[in-house]
Amino acid sequence: MSGFFLGLFYILAVLISLVACYSLLNAGNPRSLLRIFFPDPGNDVYVAMVSSVLVFILGFFIFFIRDREGFRQLIEANGDRIRDLRKKGESEENIADEILAAMGSHRGYKHNLARKKLMICLSEFK
């Protein structure tokens, strides 16, 4: 399902980016295609701003979906090992630390951020 949303967000981002570029490059042009929808050339700036903000928001969602999908794939790839560690009574924190250590991450800001995201995905993994 996330693959569908990711594709939809990409398509929307491209289409809205084209609107943003067109409105920026043709702002105030009396023969702009935007005159069909917005007769007043003063609205071109607002169209450009709104479309740019929408592209930013869609970019955030695309990043979020791709980031979570990467962690899910990591957990699926290590599913047997995770189940074994859970049977041995290991905590989610220890499992996350072991996975990150196997990837060469031991400490630091990025490690802590990845650890938190990995623990969220681990809690969803059965």
pLDDT at position 51 is: 92
What pLDDT is stored for residue 111 in this prediction? 78
Mean pLDDT of all residues in the chain? 84
pLDDT given at position 9: 86
Percentage of the chain modeled with pLDDT above 90? 13
What does the pLDDT look like over 31-60, one tens digit per residue? 888 888 888 888 888 988 999 999 999 988
Global pTM value: 0.65
Domain boundaries defined on the chain: 1-64, 78-126
Question: DSSP string of the chain?
Answer: -HHHHHHHHHHHHHHHHHHHHHHHHTTT-TT-GGGGT--SGGGHHHHHHHHHHHHHHHHHHHHHHHHHHHHHHHHHHTHHHHHHHHHTT--HHHHHHHHHHHTT--SSHHHHHHHHHHHHHHHH--
